[in-house]
Amino acid sequence: MAAERLSTGIPSVDRLLKGGLETDCLTEIYGEGGSGKTLFCLEIAVRVARSGRWVVYIDTEGVSVDRLRAIAADDLDAVLDHLLLSTPKSLAEQGRAVAAVGALVRDRKRPVGLIVVDSGTYYYRLSLSGPDEDDARQALSVAVADLVSLALEEEVPVLFTNQVWRSIREGTLEPLGGSFLNHAAKTILRFDRLAGNRRRVVLLKHRSLPEGAAEFRITSTGLEGDGPG
Contact with ligand ATP (CB under 6 A): which of 8, 12, 27, 35?
35
DSSP for 101-113? HHHHHHH-SS-EE
Work out whether 33 is an interface residue with ligand ATP (CB under 6 A). yes
Fill in the per-residue mask, 182 to 201: x = in contact with ligand ATP (CB under 6 A), - = not in contact.
---------------x----
Work out whether 87 is an interface residue with ligand ATP (CB under 6 A). no
Fill in the per-residue mask, 38 to 67: x = in contact with Mg ion (CB under 5 A), - = not in contact.
x-----------------------------
Complex with Mg ion: residue 38 or 162, whichever CB lies closer: 38
Burial of 182 per CB tally in 10 Å (0-12, 13-18, 19+): middle
Instruction: For the segment 90-149, give every residue that binds ligand ATP (CB under 6 A).
Output: none
Minimum CB distance to Mg ion, residue 41 (Å): 8
Q: What is the DSSP letter of 9?
A: S
User: Rounded CA gap, 125 and 50, in Å?
Assistant: 33
**Do residues 189 and 183 touch, judged by C-beta distance below 8 A?**
no
| Window contacting ligand ATP (CB under 6 A); options: 33-41, 131-139, 140-148, 167-175 | 33-41
User: Rounded CA gap, 207 and 226, in Å?
Assistant: 25
Residue from 201, 225, 227 nearest 214 by CA? 201
> Which positions lie near ligand ATP, rule CB under 6 A?
31, 33-39, 61, 197, 218-220
